[in-house]
Amino acid sequence: MVITSVGEDAHRVDALLDLGGDERLADGVRQLATARPQSVMWACTSGSFVFGPDGARRQAAKVAAAAGVPASSTSIAFVDALHHLGIRRVAVAASYPQDVAEHFVRFLAADGVEVVAMGSHGIITAAEVGTLEPDRVQAMVAAADHPDAEAVLVPDTAMHTLAIIDRLEAAVGKPVLTANQVTVWKGLQLAGGVPALPGLGRLFEAVR
């Protein structure tokens, strides 16, 4: 794993466009060279969806070309995971400010995913998101849920969710897709196959 450079830790569109810039990602790929990965994931949701669907795919294509292996990003992984599960209507539990969260809604809509409800929590920095306790995360997910949603999405890789996905799904009674979960899933898929992994939610049970 390589942590790419950060100009400013801020959930603002200008800062996120800088975060996902070509040179920052190219530098990250160069640092990965000695690891000889089978796939590469740009493990950042907001730093990919702010570029829009076409921009996010160009971003991933540049990473793949530089790395010489298949590559994707967290935002693209969300869409691919929803297609994999056959889900079209979702609720979003976003840590971001409203304007940033709306970029994610538009990103999903471009691939035919309808957001029927969204909770936006206005947290500016990834550092603060990383301090959220499991009870707070669960409350955010439950508050964002909607009867018409087939799944709840949690789009922030700074939020610690991998250890509590089963708990989150139990709380809402439906799949919960989180940023780190879909990133791992997509990276494994690109590398050749996704094993069934207990504790990582219904996405990792729907192996085919």
What is the overall mean pLDDT for the chain? 87
The CATH number assigned to the domain holding 100 equals 3.40.50.12500
pLDDT of residue 18: 59
pLDDT of residue 36: 83
pLDDT of residue 44: 84
Please indicate, yes or no, whether residues 164 and 91 belong to a single structural domain of this protein.
yes
pLDDT higher than 80, residue 33: no
Please indicate, yes or no, whether residues 65 and 96 belong to a single structural domain of this protein.
no
41 φ, ψ (degrees, to nearest 5)? -120, 130
pTM for this model (two decimals): 0.88
Q: What is the DSSP letter of 164?
A: G
Residue 5 lies inside a defined structural domain of this protein: no
Please indicate, yes or no, whether residues 111 and 158 belong to a single structural domain of this protein.
yes
Please indicate, yes or no, whether residues 83 and 170 belong to a single structural domain of this protein.
yes
- Greater pLDDT, 119 or 169: 169
Please indicate, yes or no, whether residues 96 and 164 belong to a single structural domain of this protein.
yes
- Greater pLDDT, 72 or 22: 72
Please indicate, yes or no, whether residues 191 and 110 belong to a single structural domain of this protein.
no
Please indicate, yes or no, whether residues 98 and 165 belong to a single structural domain of this protein.
yes
Question: What is the rounded CA–CA span in Å between residue 40 and residue 60?
Answer: 9
Q: What is the DSSP letter of 39?
A: -
pLDDT higher than 80, residue 53: yes
Q: What is the pLDDT of residues 96-119, one digit of tens each?
A: 888 889 999 999 999 999 999 998
Residue 102 lies inside a defined structural domain of this protein: yes
Instruction: Work out the average pLDDT over 13-40.
Output: 74
pLDDT of residue 162: 92
Please indicate, yes or no, whether residues 68 and 34 belong to a single structural domain of this protein.
yes
Please indicate, yes or no, whether residues 95 and 187 belong to a single structural domain of this protein.
no
Residue 154 lies inside a defined structural domain of this protein: yes
Please indicate, yes or no, whether residues 114 and 154 belong to a single structural domain of this protein.
yes
Residue 54 lies inside a defined structural domain of this protein: yes
pLDDT of residue 87: 97
pLDDT of residue 206: 67
Please indicate, yes or no, whether residues 174 and 81 belong to a single structural domain of this protein.
yes
Copy the structure tokens of residue 114.
Answer: 């309808």
Instruction: Work out the average pLDDT over 7-26.
Output: 66
Indicate the range of 13-17, 87-91, 191-195 predicted with least confidence. 13-17
- Greater pLDDT, 121 or 77: 77
Question: What is the rounded CA–CA span in Å between residue 63 and residue 42?
Answer: 8
Residue range of the domain that includes 59: 13-75+183-195
Helix (H) or strand (E) holding 94: strand 89-94
Count: domains in the chain = 2
Q: What is the pLDDT of residues 130-141, one digit of tens each?
A: 788 999 999 999
Cβ(122)–Cβ(156) below 8 Å: no
pLDDT of residue 177: 97
Instruction: Work out the average pLDDT over 68-89.
Output: 95
Residue 4 lies inside a defined structural domain of this protein: no
pLDDT higher than 90, residue 143: yes
